[in-house]
Amino acid sequence: MAKKTIADVDVSGQTVLMRVDFNVPLDDSLQITDDRRIRMALPSIQSVLDRGGKLVLMSHLGRPKGEPQPEFSLQPVATRLGEMLDAKVSFATDTVGDDARAKVAALQAGEVVVLENVRFNAGEKSGDADYAQALAEMADIYCNDAFGTCHRKDGSMFAVPSAMEGKPKVVGFLVSKEIQYLSEVIANPERPFVAILGGAKVSDKINVIQNLLGICDQVLIGGAMAYTFSLAKGGAVGESLVEPDKVELAKQLMESGGDKLVLPIDTHCGDDFSGSCNKQVVDAGHISDGFEGLDIGPKTAAAYADIVRSAKTVVWNGPMGVFEMPPFDEGTKAVAQAIAEGDGTSIIGGGDSAAAIQQLGYADQVTHVSTGGGASLAMLEGKPFAAVELLDEK
């Protein structure tokens, strides 16, 4: 999947239409509370501006249903981007309407226009041909730097580049880096190759577990999905979060995974979902009635840390317990610290794992923190990404 990047095309005097992921969190007064996603796009943006290109940025924010909703406007994002760049940044109040066309037509080299939220237009979700054509006609070059939506076939991800026949279609540096780690490193890992999978549901990770069991040396299971495996082994799970309808599936995974599939040996439980509840540590599968598993136990945390420290490639997706609530963050902390201390290639899936590694202060001690939760999972499943496949090969 070696795709041409924005660095491989001459952008001087050209208009570049770049799909970015500016889906940032806003507070009640519509102030940005975390601008990391904007900062992650800056290298690709700066590359175009520094080389005399004109830049049109498009993104979604939130989940508006094909019509304008003021609380999901990209206006605050355009303002923040203007503060970060030594360049003129304009904001278009629509996506393919009169204001967008006028602002794009007026663009000069080294300037930026941020279009309004693409999801304010019903054509974004449906991939409407007229909508895609209107966007495609704005630019000479298409660039996809929105990894978080690469697993989707939304209009701006798929229909727009499809409509730009004969024009360069490339990836930005962020998407290029994600592909490098989540696809290429995993295709040819240095061994031992260890995956750590947590989170609530087996059903969310079933395809990932199956795919990684085929390529990893060990797959370590944590989080609430471990209790469905406990149930499949005939263990007692108390009030723990389980998926009874996935017990047969868990049995099949244990059978096909054999020694590769590593399950917790002890569990940290509480009699209420709070940090101040009554707590006990029990052997896995021995959770009393009235108690629920909220984290892997200390023996499991130590065993997992040992495995992780000796690995040459580590992929982590999903916390080991309720990492937002001490003391049930201990398992996740132990795994995160072991990953940070290891000397192998370490890849952190998006979502909760990325949040945990940031919160614990280890983000700068791992090789790669993915920017896309759903997209990183889809790539770990080995799914094809149509929005990336149609871009130009190197």
Whether pLDDT at 85 is above 70: yes
Query: 4-7: long-range contacts at Cβ-Cβ below 8 A with a sequence spacing of 24 or more?
Result: 4/168, 4/170, 4/171, 4/391, 4/392, 4/393, 4/394, 5/170, 5/171, 5/172, 5/173, 5/176, 6/44, 6/47, 6/48, 6/143, 6/145, 6/170, 6/171, 6/172, 6/173, 7/47, 7/173
Classify residue 231: in a domain, yes or no: yes
Range with top average pLDDT, 1-5, 103-107, 351-355, 384-388: 103-107
Query: Is the domain of 334 the same as that of 372?
Result: yes
Residue 193 and residue 165 in one domain = no
Among 148, 172, 349, 351, the one annotated catalytic: 351
pLDDT higher than 60, residue 297: yes
Do residues 162 and 196 share a domain? no
Q: Which of the residue ranges 121-130, 181-190, 311-320 would you say has the lowest mean pLDDT?
A: 181-190
pTM, whole model, 2 decimals?
0.85
Tell me which of 121, 148, 176 is where a domain ends. Answer: 176
Q: What is the pLDDT of residue 193?
A: 96
Q: How confident is the model at residue 150 (pLDDT cuts 50, 70, 90)?
A: very high
Q: Can you give the pLDDT at residue 6?
A: 98
Tell me: do 129 and 96 sit in the same domain. Answer: yes
Considering the domain architecture, whether residues 151 and 218 belong to the same structural domain is answered as no
**Domain stops at, among 123, 154, 176:** 176
Q: What is the mean pLDDT of residues 240-266?
A: 96
Residue 350: is its pLDDT beyond 80?
no
Mean of the per-residue pLDDT values for the chain?
94
C-alpha span between 315 and 168 (Å, rounded) = 33
Q: How many domains does the chain have?
A: 2
Task: Confirm whether 374 is a catalytic residue.
Answer: yes
CA 335/CA 158 separation, integer angstroms: 37
pLDDT of residue 352: 84
Q: Which residue did the predictor score with more confidence, 187 or 307?
A: 307
pLDDT at 379 over 90: no
Residue 47, pLDDT above cutoff 80: yes
Q: Residue 277 is part of which domain span?
A: 189-380
The pLDDT, as a whole number, for residue 186 is 81
One domain for residues 201 and 244: yes
| pLDDT attached to residue 269 | 98
Q: Which of 146, 176, 206 is where one domain is finished?
A: 176
Predicted confidence at residue 2, as pLDDT, reads 87
**Which pLDDT does position 225 carry in this prediction?**
93
342 belongs to a structural domain: yes
Angle at the Cα of 91 from the Cα atoms of 90 and 97, rounded to 5 degrees: 120
With a pLDDT cut of 90, the percent of the chain lying above it is: 85
Segment 220-238 shows an average pLDDT of 96
Least confident of 93-97, 201-205, 241-245, 281-285: 201-205
| Range scoring the smallest mean pLDDT among 11-25, 27-41, 212-226, 343-357 | 343-357
Task: Indicate whether 182 belongs to any domain.
Answer: no
- Close Cβ partners of 18 (under 8 Å, ≥ 6 residues apart): 6, 44, 45, 48, 55, 56, 57, 58, 142, 143, 144, 145, 172
Is 151's pLDDT higher than 70?
yes
| pLDDT classification of 95: cutoffs 50, 70, 90 | very high
- Can 101 be counted among the known catalytic residues? no
213 shares its domain with 160:
no
Q: Which CATH number fits the domain that encloses residue 57?
A: 3.40.50.1260
Assess if residue 386 is contained within a domain.
no
367 and 286 in a common domain: yes
Name the β-bridge partners of 111.
none
**Residues 71, 216 within the same domain:** no
Q: Are 339 and 314 in contact (CB under 8 A)?
A: yes
- Are 197 and 87 in a shared domain? no
Is 387 contained in some domain?
A: no
Average pLDDT over residues 134-140: 98
Residues 37, 51, 119, 177: which is the catalytic one? 37
Does any domain span residue 393?
no
State whether 172 and 223 are in the same domain. Answer: no
Average confidence (pLDDT) over 20-26: 94
Residue 207's pLDDT band, with cuts at 50, 70 and 90, is: confident
Band of pLDDT at residue 1, cut at 50, 70 and 90? low
Q: Based on the residue annotation, tell me whether 351 is a catalytic residue of this protein.
A: yes
Residue 183 domain-assigned (yes or no): no
Mean pLDDT computed over 365-380: 85
Mean pLDDT within 331-359 = 91
235, 374, 382, 383: the catalytic one is 374
Q: Does residue 388 lie in a domain region?
A: no
pLDDT value at residue 240: 96
Query: Are both 80 and 143 inside the same structural domain?
Result: yes
Give the model's pLDDT for residue 371: 80
